[in-house]
Amino acid sequence: MTWGWTGVRGSWAKPEASESMRRMAEHGVNWTALAYAALQDTAQSTEVRFRDEPTVTDAEIVAAIREAKALGLKVCLKPVVNVADGTWRAHIGFFDQDVPGEPTWAEWFASYREFILHAARLAEAEGCDLLCIGCEMVRADAREAEWRALIGAVREVYTGPITYNCDKYQEDRLTWWDAVDVISSSGYYPIDRWRAELDRIEPVVAASAKPFFFMEAGCPSRVGSPARPNDWTLAGEPSGEAQLAYYREMFEACDERAWVGGVMLWDWPAALYDAADAPGNDDYCPYGKPAGEFLRATYRARTSA
């Protein structure tokens, strides 16, 4: 389960954050991705301002890692870049060929590299079990040389396994899966498309001889979301049953494929709502909802097997 998004400064240091993580662990979760964001101003800005607000502090990150480990969880550290004006990070991009006076890929990767290496040093110092070096960077995915150079630099400071979280439908488009240790993607596939998309992904995993898991997957608890699980703005009434139906189909489809190593569900907030408010909550978190009970039974059965 992903925990703590978006990692707003101060939110991980509150007592309710500890309680939230404890309740997450009670659902049988055995891995967590601690996900936090750093901002750049626009999709064409070249500075990732990871030392500034609203990004969580190093002290908050370290405390969250230690708390998760104390609960018996394996930890993936997941630093993510977001765009301050609301543009999705997949659209971060620059000219293919440098033009004088225009922002460049080299400038952006220099700043992004500093951000990721800072996270890698924290992950190494705290013994994180996995490091995710990027998330859904669709336009940047084609910059193979830059990603390979970044991964090489990360390996100089972090000795654990590395993954990259590609976006949905991109699993068979990346050309540098051999550079990472684990392939992962965002599996926000419509409820009736899971088996077809797994058919498409399977040859990629087989050819790579790498472990694979879904770094993100899930569905809001609202009417209509199973058909568009990646759309958190979709209008619809709260529906725990819709979310439950999606969970059941997703887990059943993935269970049919031995090469799917797991699902890191999206997501569990640091500021958890009260269980009494769950029926009216239409977000991704399954706490207090039918999907939460299904998850608890499913995860506990697997972790005790």
- Residue 129 CA to residue 78 CA, distance in Å, equals 11
In a domain, 182, yes or no: yes
- Spatial CA neighbour of 64 closest among 80, 76, 81: 76
User: Where residue 288 falls among pLDDT bands split at 50, 70, 90?
Assistant: very high
Q: Which helix (H) or strand (E) holds 204?
A: helix 194-208
pLDDT tens-digit map of 140-166: 999 999 999 999 999 999 999 999 999
Range of the domain at 179: 2-219+260-270
In a domain, 250, yes or no: no
For the cut 80, the answer to whether the pLDDT of residue 196 exceeds it is yes
Give percent above pLDDT 70 in the chain: 100
In a domain, 168, yes or no: yes
- Written as six digits, the tokens of 300 are 């506990």
In a domain, 253, yes or no: no
Can you list the pairs that 254-259 forms with residues at least 24 positions away whose Cβ atoms lie under 8 Å? Answer: 254/194, 254/198, 254/214, 256/195, 256/198, 257/198, 257/202, 259/202, 259/205, 259/206, 259/212
CB atoms within 10 A of CB 77: 25
For the cut 90, the answer to whether the pLDDT of residue 304 exceeds it is no
User: How far, in Å, are 25, 26, 162, 185, 220 from residue 123 at the CA level?
Assistant: 21, 24, 11, 21, 30
Mean pLDDT, residues 164-191: 98
Q: Give the count of domains, the chain.
A: 1
In a domain, 146, yes or no: yes
> Are the C-beta atoms of 105 and 139 separated by less than 8 Å?
no
pLDDT tens-digit map of 37-73: 999 999 999 999 999 999 999 999 999 999 999 999 9
In a domain, 157, yes or no: yes
In a domain, 206, yes or no: yes
In a domain, 287, yes or no: no
DSSP label of 90: G
- What does the pLDDT read at residue 303? 80
Q: At 133, which CATH number?
A: 3.20.20.80
